[in-house]
Amino acid sequence: MKNLIFGLIFLLTFTLFAKETTFNFLRYTGSARSSGLAGAFVSISDDPSALFFNPASVATNSDKNFSATFFKHVLDVNSGSVSYHRKWKDIGNFALSAVYTNYGSFDKTDPNGQVIGTFSANDFSFGITYANILDTNLYYGGTLKILSSNIDNYSSLAFAIDAGLLYLIPEKRTSIGFSILHFGTQLSTFDGTRESLPLDIRIGVSHRLRGLPLLLNFSFYNLADQTSKFFDRFLKFSIGGEFYFGEYVNLRLGYDNNIRKYSSSSKDKKFTGFCGGIGLKFKELNFDYGISQVGASALFHRFSIYYDFGE
């Protein structure tokens, strides 16, 4: 226990000085449910897609399940993610996950501006997660990831680790999550210039209200980013609420302060930073949809499915 805590403190201190750079597609991985909650997902349990925010969540999932998400960006940019979870008795909880982003095709020109062909760009990530219980209601987890980024004939390969803790307080209907994501290094570079990965530190809390069918979520994120003032990093937070209408329908609303503050001018913000979504729950199968606005006219759509295979 002490070694784990000291290790997380070391990673936290180190990553406070991280710079944002290549493989930034990792920052936008998430499900339709997480999108509807503005990414306030680090403290969520019992959701297979939560492993992209906190690998410790894998320890709270059912014995065997699968999830998949399609993410429609602007223009021709599309991405998707899948995860498969399996629990082995007396060993622990395992998950396999993959993320893919395709940026479409672009015209290739010579020095004179003449089109001589086309090229494409894409990113890919594959991860293996292990999670288990550390103490009463306290779970830990870690993910090993291989990352690949390709632009025309250039490519880069990287290795990264995610680590997290999740603490459940059942009598308070509350959970607390902490994670360090994308801690790693490039194994090969695009042009010989080595770049750091987009390290991310997240901490958040979820609370289910009594007497009201509402799950509230709050999360700080990107705490590893450099800022001119130390406390400015805490302006990057998101809030989400999930309303339960019976057993089968959930409605979600969220707000991302960082997106609202920086992604568009003060005159064109409109609903920038706000998001929403809906979930339909059945016995083994769930469907989710999430929508978010970034900038005055950029709408992002996510569609997710979740299937529980049972024991």
Q: Tokens for 165? A: 């803790």
Q: In what helix (H) or strand (E) does residue 295 lie, and over which residues does it extend?
A: none
Residue 6, CB-side half-sphere exposure with 13 Å CA sphere: 3
Say what the pTM is.
0.88
Q: Which CATH number fits domain 2-244: 1.10.490.10, 2.40.160.60, 3.40.50.300, 2.40.37.10?
A: 2.40.160.60
Question: Rg of the chain's alpha carbons, rounded to an integer?
Answer: 20
**In this structure, are residues 191 and 185 in contact, taking their beta carbons and an 8 Å threshold?**
no
> Quick one: the chain helix, strand, coil %, rounded to 5?
15, 55, 30
Residue where the block lists tokens 């390969």: 157
Cα 113 from Cα 107, distance rounded (Å): 10
Kindly give, in sequence order, each residue whose CB lies less than 8 Å from that of residue 307, ignoring residues fewer than 6 positions away.
65, 66, 67, 284, 285, 286
For residue 54, the Cα-to-chain-centroid distance in whole angstroms is 8
Q: 3-class SS at 186?
A: strand
Pairing of strands 154-169, 299-308: unpaired
Q: Tokens for 274? A: 């706000």
Residue where the block lists tokens 């005055």: 296
User: Within a 10 A sphere around the Cβ of 145, how many other Cβ atoms?
Assistant: 24
Per-residue pLDDT of the chain (311 residues; tens, 9 = 90+): 444 444 444 444 444 433 446 788 898 888 999 999 999 999 999 899 999 999 999 999 988 999 999 998 877 889 999 999 999 988 999 999 999 999 988 888 888 888 888 889 999 999 999 999 999 999 999 999 999 999 988 999 999 999 999 999 999 999 999 999 999 999 999 888 888 899 999 999 999 999 899 999 999 999 998 888 888 889 999 999 999 998 899 999 999 998 888 766 666 677 888 999 999 999 889 999 999 988 767 788 999 999 998 76
pLDDT at 18: 39
**In this structure, are residues 188 and 155 in contact, taking their beta carbons and an 8 Å threshold?**
yes
Kindly give, in sequence order, each residue whose CB lies less than 8 Å from that of residue 148, ignoring residues fewer than 6 positions away.
123, 124, 125, 155, 156, 157, 158
Cross-strand pairs, 100: 80, 124
User: Within a 10 A sphere around the Cβ of 285, how many other Cβ atoms?
Assistant: 11
Q: 3-class SS at 243?
A: strand
- Nearest Cα neighbor of 307 from 282, 275, 274 is 282
- Nearest Cα neighbor of 139 from 65, 43, 11 is 43
Cα 113 from Cα 141, distance rounded (Å): 50
Q: Tokens for 59? A: 């320890």
Q: Tokens for 44? A: 């969520």
